[in-house]
Chains A and B, each alone.
Chain A
Amino acid sequence: MKSLLLPLSLTALLAAVSAVAQVDVPFERLRHAGDEPENWLTYGGNYSGHRFSSLTQIAPSNVATLKPIWIYQSREAGKWETTPLVINGTIYVTERPNVITALDGRTGRPIWNYRRPMPNDVAGCCGPVNRGLAVLGDSLYVATFDCHLVCINANTGKERWDTLIADYKLGMSETVAPLAVHDKIIVGISGGEFGIRGFLDAYDAKTGKQLWRFWTIPPPGEPWNETWGKGDSWQHGGASTWVTGTYDPDLNTLYWGTGNPGPDYDGDDRPGDNLYSCCVLALDPDTGRLKWHFQYTQHDVHDWDANQVPVLVDATIGGQPRKLLVQANRNSFFYVLDRATGEFITGKAFAKQTWSSGLDAHGHPILIPGNEPNADGVLVYPGLEGAVNWPSPSYSPLTGLFYVHGQEDYAQVFYKMKEDYAPGRNYDGGGTRNVLGQEPYGVVKAIDPTTAEVRWEFKEQTSSNAAILTTATDLLFTGTRDGYFYALDARTGKPLWRFQTGGQIHGGPVTFLVGGKQYVAIAAGAGLFLFGL
């Protein structure tokens, strides 16, 4: 009798101190993720992609005392790009390559590891990075670099199912954080530099069965295939879907950006607009049916993907409440669309560019001749990385401002070279070169999402792909390539706090509660840093 009593009382004691509740995050909790700021439940913080937290313990008055609490360092070298999920005080991070770790929020100690062996011949443009996870029910979902979608028991780290998305030998790879919508897991694909034909997929969250696939390049016989010319360029035209999109539950519409057409710098064999490359797609998540599309750059030849997060904002324009979709695009323009219809409302350049004289009434950029890549090279602002690449922006409903992390004063020389398609090989039809002695700078810009006006900017020495986080105390957190995790006043852009992590920062900062106290976490170098007051 005694031997049973002791373990029971021990269990009760542990529960009172620090035992972690079992994970159970149904769709309704994801839908209202903003109502539980103690957790961080989706890649973008909520379905609208706001990366905004209503927590208030860390404020401008005390942020100067923010200090590191613990640091978790990976066994594998190489930069991290993850945005953690946080559920009931446990932090879930994706490490490279194909590793998921659950960390105890109080101590930073691993609770479990999931490691999936990875073949060593996955091409992938930019290394075996991963941007994060989705949670639904008691499962976590990850897209592996070698193109599998894997479902893991969030409480134990044990694999439930593993579905093949695509053949990595064809140049495809996965870095994107999946998105859980209803009972489906939505996942995109990378490989825009390898002559893939892009798609967006939905899988059954319980079984891993594929439910629909939307091809981002229509085949012959379907509308817009003619925008690729007469040949077979549509089969290798890219239009990848490598950054997590957003979702409006009221309109039941999924919004997802598409990448550049391929070959990137040589448009000769793909005459036309090349739909649906460089677009935002509005899709019915139940069926994968396209509701509308908006193309930002027609017939792109500068690798200016439109994968930047399409952020959903409700605001008043001309006295009318509008449901907006806003995007700071890699091509240097900021776009304001009506997300119910896809109608272009307004837009303007938010960074230095030399290729377009502005947007026409339909939101199409008016081209300045002479900016197409050629064999001798042509200098264009912005360079290949664009005015902004993939880092997630933030929107604060309190300041009413949109915050984007990009680069400025940045040109490159673009070259066009003839290249034949070969499966799994680079297929970019050219390349770029930096300009001697040029030092483009990184920048955080605050933009009015109804007018596209830039309100303020904060300069960094060099650009970074760190995401932005804003909070209800008007703090803005992000990180730099040169290693600083720092805070700005979200209303003025004034720096309030900084910490040198010693590693490049390209991750997404998140904030949450552990034991009732607010913390901020950021991936830097190959590890995770947790800060508290």
Chain B
Amino acid sequence: MRFSLVRFLHAIYFPRVPLRIRLAFCAVLAVLTAPAAMAQVAAAPAGTGMAQVTVVTNLEEGHRLFEVHCAVCHGPGGEGGKGPTLAQPTLPRASDDASLIRIISDGIGGTEMPQARIDRKDVPSVAAFVRSLGSRPLEVVPGNPERGAKIYAIKGACAQCHTLRGEGAAIGPDLTTVGRRRSAAYLRRALLDPNADVPQSYSAFRSDVSLPENFLYLRVVTTNQIEIVGVRVNEDTFSIQLRDVTGRVFSFYKDELAEIDKQWGKSPMPSYLGAFTPDELDDLVAFLVSLRDTK
């Protein structure tokens, strides 16, 4: 067998990667081994309408841009955080390079994933770097998800505020697919220090404030001195709607309120610090991480 530099490097860098991913990376490796080479990537930049273009991918530049534009949510190594982990061999929303490039360029509507402001020609490099993260070992999550499910239901009483597959309340985020959207480290921190990151939206000008899920903690006092605490459901120039801890929705015109106290950065969720044993916390996180189904 003839010696192949590409295969040699491939064996070193990606020892146990599925064939499909390895093939996708041949293009990237070609660039690594011969920096000036053109790599064929079967993808068209979003909106060009072209079927196939020749693009140059550069892993080093992709890494640099990832740190600037992506790492704040997805973690410096793609381990996840506010955004889902990218350090996995298959990305649920990006089964091929074209869809990954499209997601980076256009964002994902109705989620916290915005359009990346990255030069169109550099997007394939970022996509190539994101794909390279898939070869890293998956995060090991200790704990037993079955036991975690019981903690979710009983000791944590999580369904009082959260929804799983349509069941539960809507004071906090729907957790049906939270394992796809948040990393284990993020979920652990959210349980211990809920104020560390409150879900917020990127949308500056919106006619409905609640989309995507944007849980602003509110305290309002009516002109006849009734206080209501809850999360904002919607707000416009003259009115505001909120949901209290019992799930009841209140709607006011603002001139019926003496006070509207918006508690930016404060989560309605209580801290579970000290509420669980370390093993119970592991189990609960393992359960949450396992929530990945869309069906």
Contact = CB atoms under 8 A, between A and B. Distances in A.
Q: Are A and B physically bound partners?
A: yes
Interface of A: 375-377, 383, 385, 407, 410, 412-413, 415, 417-419, 430-440, 442, 459-463, 480-484, 486, 495, 498, 504
Given A434-B202, A437-B264, A461 B236 contact: yes
Interface string B235-253: 1111000000000000000
B23 interface: no
A483 B201 contact: no
A69 B264 CA distance: 41
Contact of A484 (B115, B200, B208, B237): B237
Query: SS class of chain A's interface: helix, strand, loop or mixed?
Result: loop
Contacts of A438: 204
Nearest to A442: B237
Pairs of residues from A and B, 4 with the lowest C-beta to C-beta distance, nearest first: A437-B200, A482-B236, A415-B117, A417-B119
Given A377-B68, A433-B114, A461 B200 contact: no
A461 B262 CA distance: 13
A383 to B, nearest CB: 7
Contacts of A410: 204
B118 A417 contact: yes
Contacts of A480: 236-237
Nearest to B65: A375
A245 B156 CA distance: 63
A431 B237 contact: no
Interface in B108-130: 114-115, 117-120
Contact of B207 (A377, A417, A504): A504
Interface of B: 68, 114-115, 117-120, 198, 200-209, 235-238, 264
A495 B254 CA distance: 12
Contacts of B238: 484, 486, 495, 498
Nearest to B119: A417
Given A415-B117, A460-B237, A483-B207, 19 more contacts: A417-B117, A418-B119, A419-B120, A430-B117, A431-B115, A432-B117, A433-B117, A435-B204, A437-B198, A437-B201, A439-B209, A461-B235, A461-B236, A462-B207, A462-B237, A463-B205, A481-B207, A482-B236, A484-B238
Given A417-B119, A433-B114, A440 B204 contact: yes
Contacts of B200: 436-437
B68 A440 contact: no
Contacts of A375: 68, 119
B68 A376 contact: yes
A485 B114 CA distance: 31
A484 B238 CA distance: 8
A270 to B, nearest CB: 18
Contacts of B264: 437
A462 B120 CA distance: 31
12 contacts: A410-B204, A417-B119, A434-B114, A440-B204, A461-B237, A462-B207, A463-B205, A480-B236, A481-B206, A486-B237, A495-B238, A498-B238
Contacts of A418: 119
A483 B236 contact: yes
A412 B201 CA distance: 14
Contact of B202 (A407, A431, A433, A495): A433
Contacts of B209: 439, 461-462
Contacts of B119: 375, 417-419
B140 to A, nearest CB: 30
Given A417-B119, A418-B119, A461-B209, A434 B236 contact: no
Contacts of A431: 115, 117
Q: Of B115, B119, B209, which is in contact with the most chain A CB atoms at under 10 Å from its CB?
A: B119
Nearest to B203: A434
B207 A482 contact: yes
A432 B205 CA distance: 14
Nearest to A426: B47
A385 B205 CA distance: 10
A376 B207 CA distance: 30
A498 B114 CA distance: 34
A462 B117 contact: no
A461 B117 CA distance: 27
A498 B255 CA distance: 12
Contacts of A483: 207, 236
B239 to A, nearest CB: 8
A386 to B, nearest CB: 12
A434 B112 CA distance: 11
A148 B192 CA distance: 63
A151 B159 CA distance: 64
A482 B201 CA distance: 17
Contacts of A436: 200-202
Q: Of A407, A413, A430, A461, which is in contact with the most chain B CB atoms at under 10 Å from its CB?
A: A461
A221 B68 CA distance: 44
A412 B235 contact: no
A442 B238 CA distance: 12
B224 to A, nearest CB: 21
B205 A481 contact: yes
B118 to A, nearest CB: 7
A129 B198 CA distance: 37
A482 B204 contact: no
Contacts of B68: 375-377
A317 B62 CA distance: 58
Contacts of A482: 207-208, 236-237
A522 to B, nearest CB: 15
Nearest to B202: A434
Contact of A377 (B117, B120, B205, B237): B117
Q: Of A377, A433, A481, A483, which is in contact with the most chain B CB atoms at under 10 Å from its CB?
A: A433
Nearest to B201: A437
Nearest to A417: B119
B205 A440 contact: yes
B83 to A, nearest CB: 12
A123 to B, nearest CB: 11
Contacts of A415: 117
Contacts of B117: 377, 413, 415, 417, 430-433
A127 to B, nearest CB: 15
Contacts of B206: 462, 481
B111 to A, nearest CB: 13
